[in-house]
Amino acid sequence: MLQKHNAEAHMIQYRNGLHCTARILKTEGIKGLYRGATPSFVGMAVEGSLFFGIYSQTKVYLQGGVQSGEPRPQVIIPSAAFSGAIISFVLGPTDLIKDADTRH
């Protein structure tokens, strides 16, 4: 909220991030610092799970179905690149929707 409204939120002019944090702690308590963070935490967990799930499956596929002990760059790099490309198809639209929601 502070970034979006150029250091003003709810008709309060904040001097800096520390002033904003102190005011939130004073008026709302510690829970106020984390209000609205649950969707972000859940989203990060889903993103990480998808990324590493795709990464590990791709790595096994590129190794010929065998999980060897020492990973090789020829397997790691394409696996990570593929995982990043796939996850971007999930994150792109969700970020677009999230940005549209914050404009209103």
The pLDDT averaged over each successive group of 10 residues in the chain (104 residues) is: 54 81 91 86 89 94 80 91 92 75 58
CA distances from residue 60 to 28, 63, 81, 87, 90 in whole angstroms, order as listed:
49, 5, 15, 18, 22
Question: What pLDDT sits at residue 92?
Answer: 82
Q: Tell me the C-alpha distance between 29 and 60, whole Å.
A: 48
Strand-pairing partners, residue 40, are none
Predicted TM-score (pTM) of the model is 0.63
pLDDT at 12: 75
pLDDT value, residue 3: 56
